[in-house]
Structure formats: structure tokens, C-alpha cells
Structure 1
């Protein structure tokens, strides 16, 4: 394997680690001043995603906790030893405005994932908004580099993933999992992640594997550069960061699924 392939492989590992650090907000996605940079991971310190209804406290099934903790420590070291230095260097070199429009482009590219899942969940208004945003931003927004849909038409982002879709249809979480590189998840959301990967346009563009790895690496590094340091704050205030991360991830996913189950009742 030559040096170029080693670099691309390292980039692939980097682009897979985003969920593992659980840093960013997912509610508003990319749009105007509400650029939240990560469409799939919760802000572990934010409770604004909760619905107005009382919480139902259900235990988290974590029979693999010893192994999950090993992977948690691995991901933690990866963040501080590799990802944080990369983020710092990239931020110093690339101006914020350029990072912002690059993020808009990648968010727009992933619109088919949001469209299919909002449609499957019966969120037809949201699906229409996703489709409208894709058309507007791909044309007026110049291939998605601008967010004309939000700025000119006030059509804010709508997000959806297949793990969420399964949850809306009553599929349970199953065993809690903390994957190396991928981070906190469960059986249902892991299946959903694989399905969403198959929906992504990368699979249907005329790109070879090296080009896909390079694109995903840029997407990940750019996204990481735009987020804050919630994970570090979580570690600072938590007695047991593993338990805090597990609880925050599970609460967020349950709240998100519950809120979308209520859509048809409103």
C-alpha cells in the first residue's frame, strides 16, 4: 500500500469517529444562523430537545458494559490525541466562512437520507421541506454551497435517520453499544446507520473508493472544526463520563423518536 493509500485510510478512520465524541446539536441542522454542524449526534449538555410531556424513565440495557467501557476509553484517547489536534490545525488554516459553506454543501448532499426517512415516518410536511430545500439550494444556492432555502424562503432544515424511523414504528433499542470509532449507539440505531449509509448519494456518484474516503474525511474534519467542546465539558462535570454519555445519548434518541410519534396527533 503506498503513502497515498495510507493517508486515505487514516482519513477514513477519522471520518468515522464523529458520533463517538457525541459533541454536536442535531435539531436545526444547517440553515442561516442555526448551523449546528452535526446532523446525527446530540449535544450531551442540552435538554432543549425534550418534549413538553413527562419523561418515561426506562432502564438502559447494557450487558456489554465492560467491553463498551474499553471502547469508550479508546474513543476518548482518539479524540484528545488525534481529532482535537487535527481540528485545531484545520481551523487555523481554513477561514470560518469557507468552512461554513463547505458544511452547507455536504448537508445538502445528504438530503436523500432525510427525505426518505421523513417520508417513511409520515412526516410529509417535513419531507416536502427537505425536497424543497434540496431543489432550491442545489440551484439558487449554487450546488448547495449556500442555504438560500433558509435565508430567502425561511425553509429550515428537517432531519431524519433510519434508526429514528425504526423507533417511530415501535422497534425497540435492544442492547446499548459503544462502538470503537462510531461511539454510542444501540442495535436499532446501528442497523439504521448502515441503512442510511446505503442511501447516501456517495454510493451512486461516479467516485472510486479513494475519492469517497477523501470526501468523507473532508466532511468530517470540516464538521468537527465548527463545533464547540461539549464533550470536554461533559467530562469535566461528570463523575463517570461513560455513564453520562450513555444516558445523554439514550435520552436524546428517546425524546427525538417520541416527538415524531406525536406528529400525527397534533
Structure 2
């Protein structure tokens, strides 16, 4: 039994000794085959030299690949306007108008110009009697400078302005029937009422019209003057052709017919009045009126390149404006439409 224990102890000691010997020897030997037996899965990092070559190859490829892109980017930068050069978006605060609105406004301006040209062409009055009209223009021109102007100038020199204003008011008041009837025919009832009220006030308080007392009342301010030529225009009668009358001056076929109609409403053209008296009173009225306008015709003629054509165009535009004012001045009650309907019913 003791012999067995000794053997076991001996074996145990020998085993410990061999184990310690082997352990010390293996620990001092270098592990030469560790890198050779290691698998890629166990060590995924590349070797230092291989990694350097791959980076050079990749850099070379990147340089070849990105070189054209860099040139294109450089070209784009040179040809692309800078942010400061780009048109800023329009804002309400800046007051600038968007490009679309500017285009629309430009188109509208062109259309407005075209409409104005069409309107001007439609308002053109033919002048088939130009030879006759030019002769009459020269006649009236010489009549003004040789007769009317010297007489009016002398009349103004010897006559007080207050008297001349009174004479002007008198003839203005005397022509009330012409304006009154044409206001009614045009449907301007409010203007007709003012004309009637002014006639009553000035004929009484104004001493037969020499004083314009009614003009002091804001509600009785003088309305626009109306005549039969404007009334015919309201009812659709065209200008016809241009014509120049001796002494009376420029007119159109429509306005000439209107002047004849207005003669029946003028108290100075009453059948019981002698022709000599009527002509003398009319001449005096013209001289008195001219005394307020000395120099106007001279200024107009000096500024005109072609006086005949300038006077013709000025007269046509003046009458056109008068007709437009007539259209705007109509009252709310369109009696002129009722009159038109009555005329159409009577014709049909």
C-alpha cells in the first residue's frame, strides 16, 4: 500500500516537472508560422505595401475620370452669370413688375396705339373740294389781316373792356334758344334747365343779358355750348366732307347743315328783321369777339408748317372733342333714345 502511494507521488512529481519544462521552452520560441497559417478571414486587413499600390492606382483612375468633369465645371462657371447678375424676382415692395406683366403691358400699349390709330383713321374727314377750300382759305386769310384785324384792333383801342364784355354777354344770352333746343334734342335735360334759368336771370337781373349774373351761382354755371351740328352727330350723322366758306370759315357738310338749322332759332335771323340790319349786327358781333382774340390766329399760323392743313385738322379735332363732350354730358334720362325710337317708328 505504501509502495503504491510512493509510486503515485513519484509519477505526480515527474508529471509536474515535465509540464513546467515544456511550458518554458515553448514560450521562448518565436511564432514563425503564425502569419502563414492565418486565413484571410481571420485577418481581413491588407498588407501595407499592397494598400499603397492600390491607392496609387485608384488615384490615377480618379484623375483620368474627373479631368473632363473639371473642365466642364470650369466652362459652366465661366458662362453662367453670377448670382448678382441674375434678375431678381419682382416683389411688391420693390415696385418692379414681373416679366410677364411687363410683356402684357407692352402688348396692351401696342393695342392702345393701334386702337388710337384706327380711331384717328375712322375720324378722318375727306377733302374732295381741296382746290375750292384753299382758295377760300386764302380769301379769309387776307380778309382777316386786311379788314377784320385792323377794325377789331381799332375797336379794342377805343372801347372799354367792360363794355366789350357786356356786348359779348348780350349776344351769348341772345343765342340761348339755339343751345336750349339742342340740349333738349340731345337728351341733356339738366343742361336745358340750366340754360333756361340762366336766360331768365340774365335777361332780368343782368339787364337784357349785358351782365352775366347767373354765373355767380355755382348751380347755374355755363354748360357746354350745343348746336345742331353736334345734335346731328349724336343721332349718327357723319361729318361728310370738309368745306371752307367765305367769311364763316372752316366747316363740314354736317356742320353746314347744322348752321342752316340754327339760323331758324337765332333771333337775329327773324324774318321780320331787315337783311341789312341782321348783317350789320352779326358783323358787329364778330368784331367784338375778335377783339378778345387778337394774336391767336397769328400764333397758330406761325407755328403751322402748312397752315391750310393745320387749320383743317385743328377744326376737325375741335368738333370731335365737342361731340365727345356732348356724349359724356348726357343726363340719366336718355330722351334722345326715345326721340330716335319715335323717328324710327314714324319712318317705318
TM-score by length of 1: 0.76
Aligned residue in 1 for 2:173: 108
Deviates more, 1:204-213 or 1:120-129: 204-213
Which of 211, 214, 222 is 1:157 aligned to? 222
Q: Give 5+ residue unaligned stretches, structure 2.
A: 1-114, 333-348
Match of 1:121 among 183, 186, 203: 186
Deviations 1:211-262 (A, max 9, x none): 2222222211111112242211111011101111000100111121122223
Partner residue of 1:187? 253
Query: What secondary structure does 1:57 align onto?
Result: helix
242 and 259 in structure 1: CA distance in 2 versus 1, 3 angstrom threshold:
same
Instruction: Structure 1 unaligned segments of length 5 or more: list them.
Output: 1-52
The one of the two structures with greater contact order (alpha-carbon pairs below 8 A, sep at least 6) is 1
Q: Post-superposition shift, 1:152?
A: 4.1
Note the 1:44-83 alignment, pairs <5 A.
56-58=119-121, 59-83=124-148
Q: In the aligned structure 2, how far is the partner of 1:201 from the partner of 1:64?
A: 32
Q: Tell me how large the CA RMSD over aligned residues is.
A: 1.9
1:97 aligns with 2:162: yes
Distance in 1 separating the partners of 2:331 and 2:126 = 30
Deviation at 1:103, TM superposition (A): 0.8
Is 1:208 aligned to 2:274, yes or no?
A: yes
Q: Name the count of aligned residue pairs.
A: 214
Higher helix share: 2
Q: CA contact under 8 A between 1:168 and 1:258: conserved in structure 2? A: no
Please give the secondary structure, in 2, of the residue aligned with 1:199. coil
Select the residue among 303, 308, 312 that pairs with 1:246: 312
TM-score, normalised on structure 2?
0.58
Choose which of 237, 241, 252 in structure 2 pairs with 1:171: 237
Pair member with larger Rg: 2
Deviation at 1:65?
A: 1.0
Q: Secondary structure at the match of 1:80?
A: helix
Matched, 1:225 2:291: yes
CA distance in 1, matches of 2:217, 2:331: 31
Q: CA deviation at 1:153?
A: 5.0
Distance of aligned partners of 1:123 and 1:265 in 2 relative to their CA distance in 1, 3 Å threshold: closer
CA–CA distance in structure 2, aligned partners of residues 152 and 233 of structure 1:
35
**Contact 2:245–2:251 (Cα < 8 Å) also in 1:** yes
